[in-house]
Structure 1
């Protein structure tokens, strides 16, 4: 038995049996044990059963090796902690027993002793890491496969994940933004707060909202455009994109009062449409990215356009972008 295991487990005569101090927790009809366990013990005693491996009884997702590798690197770099509990169900091979007046569990140190109900990628990451951690663990005992499956469903549906737009909004506070994310955040914030913003009132920094552009939608739309502006500051990129949106608004307002650009599909389509429009502007006016120059290029695209294309764009922004590009290239009047 390794030194790290001995420090966390009670003495036990059989080398293949491990003991750990636990607390019993009762919730409704269920009860489980909480404890901490060395990550290497989890790595060698836990398993998952996927639908692919066992179509009749499997219920887990397939393991993502890339995600597990990222977890292992995170652990080995000492970048932070993983405080959330791994949730397990003891299997028959564990031969789990409660000893020491209910304060200690004993089980067999063998592969497949526990089925993972939550945390399979963390455990997979532990197996790839060189560093040992003490990990919070919850162990259920005596569950049927039906009960295990129901718990898996409850864990993965009742716990609402943090919205992606909130995570993007607070990355700055955590000081973990990439350079690209910082640039996108700066541009988004200018569209949100600048008094000259053509998207004023359309931005939603931290949560999803009807007729609002979230950071997730904005980043997906604007990130591909950053390569057009090498060496430019965020404020310069914002000014160019803002002039483009101003030109779009001139034509959109002529056709409807509906905030069409706040529709994610419409917004992403028009942002993807920026590249060919910008190239036309450069061809005609050089690097003068003014709203009037953008407008001179896009005005023919809107001529006799069926506004329903924008009011009810469907779910594919790329199809709408292709439609706009066709009109730009041919100046087709429908």
Structure 2
């Protein structure tokens, strides 16, 4: 007798037609869905729906690995449906009275219209016998054209979430994490009167002087988190499980020098360290830092990221790690630089990673690091 999967489904009627919304165990979903992981391995093969629509979604092994790690965290969730298509002849039966769907338990009966990275990531789920249920939307016996409409609609209407919104949401987190610490420090430096960042950061939901705001909340938070953690999501997960992440030894602190201050909950000290450094920047290049003009880059992401990369090197040079180094110590080095305020422009340091790298290397060379 053929093995079956039995799970609860509700029938839903929309203009496109009928489909089913149900809940499946992740193991069953992996078994019956088309093995998109093969496309991750082979590269350029396209599915028929992608050929039909002309939309080819790049499947990323890195993304699959990220999700594989995420699914094992204490608060992992996939609240949106994995969307499948199943041929009518592959359905054993659906009982509208009980709401039970019966499918054969065998490979490759469900074509994935959306959710291939989630399915690939779920192959790494390892929470010791605890099931991970997935809500699924199942279309049955659709023409390829209709499948393509669903596929194209998903891929053309999705909007990327503002990264600053993600950073801002950590204000509501009840557990400690690198993300929450970074969020709090960014807000504190933006609000502090006399701070080089006073009202200079684009904070969501605030009504500051928009003409002064030149650095996004996400840009600042991302750069700061790199100094605290090499795996912020894992650190966050450890805190949510009621434990404390490990401190770094002297070798690892060379990469992330503010790590142990973070573990010791010395957030105010971290903020003070960053504040002193940028006070020296502001003193050395006051016009380039304070004046907002389209052509100037020092107080925008190009300059800020380069300066944060330089901070890492200069902080380790002056030391000791964990200490608050006063602005005057940085100023001694900055005074060696020959770049003038007017040199921090878009022509010399083009916006983007190229300009960031160029500025970082130029300053590092000029101050003798």
TM-score tier, shorter chain, comes to 0.7 to 0.9
Structure-2 separation of matches of 1:52 and 1:93 = 30
8 A Cα contact 2:285 2:341, kept in partner:
no
Q: Structure 1 stretch 220-229 or stretch 83-92: which is displaced more?
A: 220-229
Counterpart for residue 191 of structure 1? 189
Counterpart for residue 238 of structure 2? none
TM-score, normalised by the number of residues in structure 2? 0.67
Counterpart for residue 8 of structure 1? none
Structure-1 separation of matches of 2:121 and 2:4 = 24
8 A Cα contact 1:93 1:113, kept in partner:
no
Structure-1 separation of matches of 2:223 and 2:358 = 14
For residues 265-316 of structure 1, the C-alpha deviation after alignment (integer angstroms, 9 at most, x for no partner) is 2100011122454467669xxx883334433431342554652546753312
Deviation of 1:112 after TM superposition, in Å, equals 0.8
Aligned pair count reads: 310
Equivalence map 1:16-165=2 (5 Å): 16-18=3-5, 20=7, 22-49=9-36, 50=39, 52=43, 54-55=45-46, 57=48, 59=56, 61-62=59-60, 66-74=65-73, 79=75, 82-91=78-87, 94-95=90-91, 100=96, 105-127=101-123, 128-129=125-126, 130-165=129-164
Q: Does 1:323 align with 2:359?
A: no
Aligned CA distance change for structure 1 residues 177 and 147 (closer, same or farther; 3 Å) = farther
Equivalence map 1:125-274=2 (5 Å): 125-127=121-123, 128-129=125-126, 130-178=129-177, 180-206=178-204, 211-225=213-227, 227-229=256-258, 232=261, 233-254=266-287, 257-258=291-292, 260-274=297-311
Aligned CA distance change for structure 1 residues 33 and 271 (closer, same or farther; 3 Å) = same
Larger radius of gyration: 1
Deviation of 1:139 after TM superposition, in Å, equals 0.6
Deviation of 1:110 after TM superposition, in Å, equals 2.0
Aligned CA distance change for structure 1 residues 135 and 67 (closer, same or farther; 3 Å) = same
Q: Does 1:295 align with 2:331?
A: yes
TM-score, normalised by the number of residues in structure 1? 0.73
* Counterpart secondary structure, 1:295: helix
How much is the aligned-residue C-alpha RMSD, in angstroms?
A: 3.9
Aligned CA distance change for structure 1 residues 71 and 266 (closer, same or farther; 3 Å) = closer
8 A Cα contact 1:34 1:137, kept in partner:
yes
8 A Cα contact 2:171 2:184, kept in partner:
no
8 A Cα contact 1:313 1:320, kept in partner:
no
Deviation of 1:124 after TM superposition, in Å, equals 3.9
Structure-1 separation of matches of 2:225 and 2:77 = 30
Structure-1 separation of matches of 2:275 and 2:21 = 54
8 A Cα contact 1:164 1:216, kept in partner:
yes
Aligned CA distance change for structure 1 residues 176 and 214 (closer, same or farther; 3 Å) = farther
Deviation of 1:97 after TM superposition, in Å, equals 5.4
Identify unmatched segments of 5+ residues in structure 1. 1-13
